[in-house]
Structure 1
Amino acid sequence: MIDLYYWPTPNGHKITIFLEETGLDYQIKPVNIGKGEQFEPDFLKIAPNNRMPAIVDHAPEDGGEPVSIFESGAILQYLARKAGKFGGETLRDQAEVEQWLMWQMGGLGPMLGQNHHFTQYANEKVPYAIDRYVNETGRLYAVLNRRLADRDFIAGDYSIADMASYPWIVPYERQSMDINEFPHLKRWFDRMAARPAVIRAYEVGKEVNPTPGMTEEDKKVLFGQTAATVA
């Protein structure tokens, strides 16, 4: 059994997609990030960065004590090794998957996250910041579109690179993107959206949080964190 500490965000969806694809036994441990549940002491023991998702694997491959992992990319790599799929068959395949996973973790996620913040959530609209992150979003979309011009999936075969990237493209309209301008990306996006496991993963999110949205109090919790929050 895997405990998944989760809230239906793009990073959370990555893990439910993998778990639904593989059928690994898991149970959801909701972490309502708008209410500050990520700062509870018991969660801090599992996720020292006070961020979800995180997992606890109660049946690790070595048969030892439960293994806890935080950071969505690290979780995907661990689960791919555990399940023996979606991480690349050969060393060359693995390198292909992992570089695109790191591209998502280091670029696509953070830049699109800043896009969301300044276009959707910031109390003050800052034109420079909006232009900066909308433009970078477009650049990253173009990189992915070019990558997908001659292949069905990001690393060739379907992999954790696709699972990591797809949830960040789902809110493309809120990112001020016209997905039709990126035809190869759109073809991939539609293929991903039609996968039964992806559909199931998003249904899990609706069950956990039937009324998505962000109140002003939620914003204070999510966007008001400082060094004092950690201390």
Structure 2
Amino acid sequence: MSSPQFTLYSHAGGPNGHTVAFLLKALDLSYETKYLDFAKGEQKSDAYLSRCANGRIPALVDHANGDFTVWESKACMLYLVAKYDNENKFGVGSSPEEQALLSQWLFFQASGQGPYFGQAAHFKMFAPEKIPYGIERYTKEVERVAGVLESVLSKQEWLVSNKLTIADLSFITWNNFGLYALLPEGVNAEEKFPALVAWHKKLLALPYVAEALKDREEAMKAK
């Protein structure tokens, strides 16, 4: 049995690595996931820092391309689409305009959704003391980001180019958690953001997404 083409360095509970797994599965690319133990500081080890200078997950190693390594989940996805999505199933056209719109949504996820949802989770669930200002500030940002997505998805099926792309896939993991746990008290996602919730459920029903999320559940159980 041949070795997997890719090694994906991830974390069982962290959302970002699983986003890359969606695309690896969708493109039928073989990979092995190595889950780092943050409690042991494995993400800050010399061995891992030699692959990922940021000491975060994910990092993706392409063994068929001279062990080329890329980190940051959106960079991983862009690499996979550019090099291995031969039918352009998850990318967009080559025009500067379409490429800019794809980048727009990927950057919004990376700079808007991910950090704000993460801070909301920290202050609402994990901070050693409850800080009302932090909870209010970041849960309202979750609501704001959801509102941006709702404003677009209420008018169109997908985020860009009238097709499912990596832009859509990039939002799944944080929405899977944030839409039901990180909104301000009293805000119901299905009532306030019906188009967003419908889009999210459609993404969850994709076979490769469901399979990757099942892998995540198994990894969480094994912790």
Counterpart in the other structure of 2:70: 69
The residue type equivalent to 1:116 in the other structure is A
Asked whether 1:178 is paired with 2:185, we answer no
Note the alpha carbon deviations across 1:171-190, whole angstroms, 9 max, x for none: 12220352211011011011
The residue type equivalent to 1:83 in the other structure is Y
Match of residue 196, structure 1, among 201, 207, 210:
207
Counterpart in the other structure of 1:100: 105
Counterpart in the other structure of 1:30: 35
Counterpart in the other structure of 1:165: 171
CA distance in 1, matches of 2:39, 2:174: 19
**3-state SS of the aligned residue for 1:209?**
helix
Identity %: 34
Deviation at 1:82, TM superposition (A): 1.4
Counterpart in the other structure of 1:207: 218
TM-score by length of 2: 0.89
CA distance in 2, matches of 1:97, 1:133: 26
- Give the aligned CA root-mean-square deviation in angstroms: 1.4
* Number of aligned positions between the proteins: 208
The residue type equivalent to 1:178 in the other structure is N
Q: Is the contact made by 1:179 and 1:186 (CA closer than 8 Å) also made in structure 2?
A: yes
Q: Superposed, which structure 2 residues align to 1:1-20 within 5 Å?
A: 1-8=5-12, 9-20=14-25
The residue type equivalent to 2:78 in the other structure is Q
Extract unaligned runs of 5+ from structure 1. Answer: 213-231
Deviation at 1:44, TM superposition (A): 0.7
Counterpart in the other structure of 1:226: none
Counterpart in the other structure of 1:90: 94
Bigger Cα displacement from structure 2, 134-143 vs 31-40: 31-40
Q: Is the contact made by 1:152 and 1:188 (CA closer than 8 Å) also made in structure 2?
A: yes
Counterpart in the other structure of 1:120: 125
Q: Which structure is richer in relative contact order (CA contacts within 8 A, separation 6 or more)?
A: 1
Q: Superposed, which structure 2 residues align to 1:114-153 within 5 Å?
A: 114-153=119-158
Match of residue 50, structure 1, among 33, 49, 55:
55
CA distance in 2, matches of 1:203, 1:173: 19
Counterpart in the other structure of 1:39: 44
Match of residue 198, structure 2, among 160, 168, 187:
187
Deviating runs (4+, > 6 A) in structure 1? none
Q: Is the contact made by 1:120 and 1:174 (CA closer than 8 Å) also made in structure 2?
A: no
**3-state SS of the aligned residue for 1:90?**
coil
**3-state SS of the aligned residue for 2:146?**
helix
Deviation at 1:37, TM superposition (A): 1.3
Deviation at 1:153, TM superposition (A): 1.5
The residue type equivalent to 1:182 in the other structure is F
CA distance in 1, matches of 2:188, 2:49: 39
CA distance in 2, matches of 1:35, 1:178: 37
Bigger Cα displacement from structure 2, 92-101 vs 103-112: 92-101
CA distance in 2, matches of 1:13, 1:152: 23
Return closer, same or farther for 1:210/1:75 CA change in 2, 3 Å cut-off: same
Extract unaligned runs of 5+ from structure 2. Answer: none
